[in-house]
Structure 1
């Protein structure tokens, strides 16, 4: 049985393992392989430790925990990080910064359970909507978010991964 709870410092190594293997699995053939091969759990955990405590209160990290196997999924949310020029709506936007599950539990409902908890916590923070960025060339993730009620809103941005520029598209969901 999987339950979702707030992440603790003791979960950092497991979360880093979920994130690194998640990237290496989900983005194989999309993100340059040398970039993926250079990712390590140790480096990710070291970086995660430096910001974990200072970000408390601003960023909420959740873990899906299988009682027999420890954390099997991780999600991170907070306020939307990018201002939109000319926005006077007064809408309070949240952002799903990340959601990953261990590759061996993809398709079991762990991601869906995590996302439901993200929405519950976002509503408790009084966010009017949630936004997220997803690689344009990641159809599995795009279908996952579309099934959960997110729609692409036309915004796009590009980032460099190694020497390759990849496009991310933004999705939005009202709460």
Structure 2
């Protein structure tokens, strides 16, 4: 891969970001969520919702893309922590997805590093990850995130897929 550029997402990036997000779910959550649920995810519907959110955004959510040679390879979103149980002064990584063909190439690490750098004024950054998603948990743990003991029950088509919350101290 030639040089990787991390930049703010543009409206024109919505289709590719949705493709990365949906393909990322279908790859990462295979065996963790029902196949019928994952197969039913729609790139077109996700892109339609993403364009609407993007147009209505208030600037509090920062969407970043990783691009190489004009191709978007990954996407991350961060902003103020959304959970009322923690101080509003904390940050949250809402999402980080990489094109499955680029896993292990450093794209995810680059996106995470820029998100963490941009949130350096916050005291902490939180994120949620599926409890049984061992590769994602290892990725975040290598980046200094640790589970804080909080678990959220989630389900897909009646199948439990609980999430655990991770936290990392920032310079804040």
The 1-side partners of 2:29 and 2:106 are apart by 20
Query: Secondary structure of the residue that 2:104 maps to in structure 1?
Result: coil
Structure 1, unmatched stretches of 5+, are none
Instruction: Please report the TM-score for the alignment, with normalisation by the length of structure 2.
Output: 0.94
In the other structure, the counterpart of 1:167 is: 162
Residue 52 of structure 1 corresponds to 54
Give the deviation of 1:91 after TM superposition.
7.0
Give secondary structure in 2 for the equivalent of 1:47. helix
Alignment check: 8 A CA contact 1:91 1:128 kept: no
Matches within 5 A, 1:14-163: 14-68=16-70, 70-84=71-85, 92-123=89-120, 126-163=121-158
- The alignment yields a C-alpha RMSD, in angstroms, of 1.2
Superposition misfits of 4+ residues, deviation over 4 angstroms: none
What count of residue pairs does the alignment treat as equivalent? 168
CA shift, 1:134, in A, is 0.2
CA contact (8 A) 2:80 2:88 kept: no
More off after superposition, 32-41 vs 90-99: 90-99
